[in-house]
Amino acid sequence: MEPRRRRAPRVATPGWAGRCLDEDADEPDWYGCEVIDLSIVGVGLYLYPVLPLTPAALLDHHVVVHVQPPVGDSISVRLRGRVANASVLRDGAVRVGLEFVDLSETERQILRVLELLDVVW
């Protein structure tokens, strides 16, 4: 089996703690999460505590992420995407890859700037 290749370079986002909402859950609720990387096509997350769904059941769900990057209170970020992949880690957390949906051209340009500058908040 050939290893999966990323469609776009990722930028690490250490310290980006936030909250995530599974919009497609039967009973939507907020969960703790950590944004671990970001690219122009998606975002990587750790979800805590473990969601009531299995990783396979999360596929194609739409998730909203609210995060406060560790740069001060004046900046907060809202991300929305579709779960493209999910797996359980050894510590019980769920690793999720979100693919962005419905990005405006302005949002795409902001993500491109972050990628080009290799910004690490």
Residue positions counted in the chain: 121
Give residue 104's pLDDT: 87
3-state secondary structure the chain: CCCCCCCCCCEEEEEEEEEEEECCCCCCCEEEEEEEEECCCEEEEEEECCCCCCHHHHCCCEEEEEECCCCCCCCCEEEEEEEEEEEECCCCCEEEEEEECCCCHHHHHHHHHHHHHCCCC
Residue 96 resides in a domain: yes
Q: Is 3 a domain residue?
A: no
Res 1: pLDDT: 46
For residue 47, the tally of other CB atoms under 10 A from its CB is: 22
Q: What domain range includes position 67?
A: 11-116
pLDDT at 115: 65
Q: What is the pLDDT of residue 117?
A: 58
Q: Is residue 2 assigned to a domain?
A: no
Residue 47 in domain: yes
The verdict on residue 77 lying in a domain is yes
The domain spanning residue 54 has which CATH number? Answer: 2.40.10.220
pLDDT tens, per residue, the chain with 121 residues: 445 555 667 788 888 899 999 999 888 889 899 999 988 899 999 988 766 678 888 999 999 999 887 777 777 888 899 999 999 888 878 899 999 988 889 888 877 776 665 554 4
In a domain, 5, yes or no: no
Question: For the chain, what is the domain count?
Answer: 1
The per-residue b/e assignment along 88-110, b for 16 or more CB within 10 angstroms, e otherwise, is eeeeebbebbbebeebeeeeeee
Q: Is 89 a member of any domain?
A: yes
> 94 in a domain, yes or no?
yes
